[in-house]
A = this chain, B = another copy of it.
Amino acid sequence: MIITATEADGSQICSIAARAGVFSHEEVECVAELWEEYLTQGPKICGYNFIVYRDGDHVLGFACYGPRDLTEGVFDLYWIAVDPIARCNGVGRKLLTASEEAARQADGRILIAETSGTPLYESTRKFYWSMGYENEATIKDFYAIGDDLMIFVKRM
């Protein structure tokens, strides 16, 4: 089931980020930093909401989303990741759907997912397309030379 993440989920969230196979060391550290802000400040102040897909004590995936400052109704999907051992079971789809639903309930009009244009992220891009997202903008050589930023948008 999908629920709001609590303190005990932290180590499994960071472990999934590290084992996901697509995030750099800096990106895994960034997940840990946002998690720390979520725990210490709470989502209303820090702007980061964490949800997990939990099966008993096992966290099988997580998502982190939050409202974009200075906009009316834009939400960012900062992170979404599924444990490699739990792939292809709809965990990612359920996490993304739950993030969209939470954004919608907070008057969200637009959910934005930024990802990379490299082959490593091909399945991620296919995932967003299959969930009704459109690649509305691309900035070439953004993350690094040869590594484009692709902005996926879902209008709700």
Contacts and interface: CB of A to CB of B under 8 A. Distances in A.
Residues of A contacting B: mostly: strand
Contacts of A27: 70
Interface of A: 24, 26-27, 30, 69-74, 109-110, 112, 136-145, 151, 153, 155
28 contacts: A24-B70, A26-B69, A26-B70, A27-B70, A30-B69, A30-B70, A71-B142, A71-B143, A72-B143, A72-B144, A72-B145, A73-B144, A74-B143, A109-B141, A109-B145, A110-B139, A110-B141, A110-B142, A112-B139, A136-B137, A136-B139, A136-B140, A137-B137, A137-B139, A137-B151, A139-B151, A139-B153, A141-B155
